[in-house]
A and B are shown apart, each in its own frame.
Chain A
Amino acid sequence: MTIKELSKEEYLLKGHAACAGCGPSIALRLLFKALGNNVILVVPACCTTVIQGTYPYTSFAVPLQNILFESTAAAASGIVAALRQRKLEGTTVVGWAGDGGTVDIGIQALSGAAERKTDFIYICYDNEAYGNTGMQRSGATPYGAWTTTTPSGKRERKKDMPLIMAAHRILYVATACPSFPIDFVNKLRKAKDIEGTKYIHILTPCPTGWRYDTSKTVELGRLAVQTGLWALYEIEYGKFKLNPPSDRLVDEAKRKPIKEYLTLQGRFRNLTEEDIGQIQKWVDEDWERYRKLTSNSTSDSTLYGKT
């Protein structure tokens, strides 16, 4: 698969209301390139509420259900049930929610839907704060980051949502980043063909909230991966696997220093050398965990209901 093999069709239409340089918008375009338009999108309160534009127009050319903040997975559950009753299972139901709507207020409905094996793809597009309301701290905001509610920098670490979802023993969990479009598209296509709940967590840089030049969105996503701050992996039927280029980064020497990523962003301006050292230590610990997960992880398919 190469970029040129991706469809020219656009289902996120130009003239939408996202900020210039919006990371989630790149991811949305890729979503439709991967899945086509036989899709029903469920969107809670998040930046994508804004991206649509205002009534009577929308920038989305697929059916889109706007729903309450904490309810993406619950609405998807109802839609999936109705489609099954109507024998329309060919349509893919996609929950598309921000990090606040996923790791904080929406975690209950998501956990319930996953436990019930609801047949849908849930995508958390993570810009590491409540972006729509002007960048307040969320459970996905990383340590040290400025937000409007942590003006001196957040003092707690980012919640590890993909592994929380993996603990539900769903058949497919993946991380991605639109800076690696083919990886993301491949994961979406794989997810589409698996029955049950699929969870994909994507890091989507946000120039408005992260305080960097709008032209750097793709570069920052790339740096997040290259420094090892964001690892690309998938957990398929319980088997953990790092994806390129993250798979090479188990070797510490191949990881770029996190400073290259942090110093490009105004939100990390208050970090001390000590903070940076602490973050680097955590990153290294994460990678030790990924290394163990990679070497120890064999899929026990029977546990996951695969026959």
Chain B
Amino acid sequence: MSSSLKSRKEMPLTPLSSPSVGSMGKTGSWRTFRPEVDNSKCTRCTICWIYCPDAAITRQDDDSPKIDYDYCKGCGICANECPVKAITMEREEG
């Protein structure tokens, strides 16, 4: 993520970094495989949500997962852990 800070005058006296989504940018660009959720198979167990290292899976109101592809690194843990195989890893195009 590039910063809007430009001038020394705007800097704090010592590095005090602000909590930010995307502190390392859009980490979804690291992905080579993309998790796809088959909602018809999903049992809303939320296991994929709790094991996502990237906090890239949101647990929606009905407990179904929503993957934020801007930040999902495509590790595949969600697919590996899904007890009903409702998540598959698909190769990213291009």
Contact = CB atoms under 8 A, between A and B. Distances in A.
Nearest to B17: A58
A197 interface: no
A61 B19 contact: yes
A54 B58 CA distance: 25
A52 B17 contact: yes
A14 B71 contact: yes
A13 B20 contact: yes
Given A20-B75, A215-B77, A215-B89, A53 B55 contact: no
Contact of A13 (B3, B23, B46): B23
A4 B63 contact: yes
Interface in A19-57: 19-23, 25-26, 29-30, 52-57
A14 B56 contact: yes
Contacts of B55: 10, 12-14, 16, 29
Interface string B16-33: 111111111111001100
B36 interface: no
Nearest to A221: B51
Contact of B75 (A15, A52, A217): A217
A30 B15 CA distance: 27
Given A15-B26, A55-B15, A61-B19, 8 more contacts: A8-B59, A14-B55, A14-B70, A14-B71, A15-B27, A20-B54, A23-B53, A217-B53
Interface of A: 3-4, 6, 8, 10, 12-23, 25-26, 29-30, 52-61, 178, 181, 207, 213-219
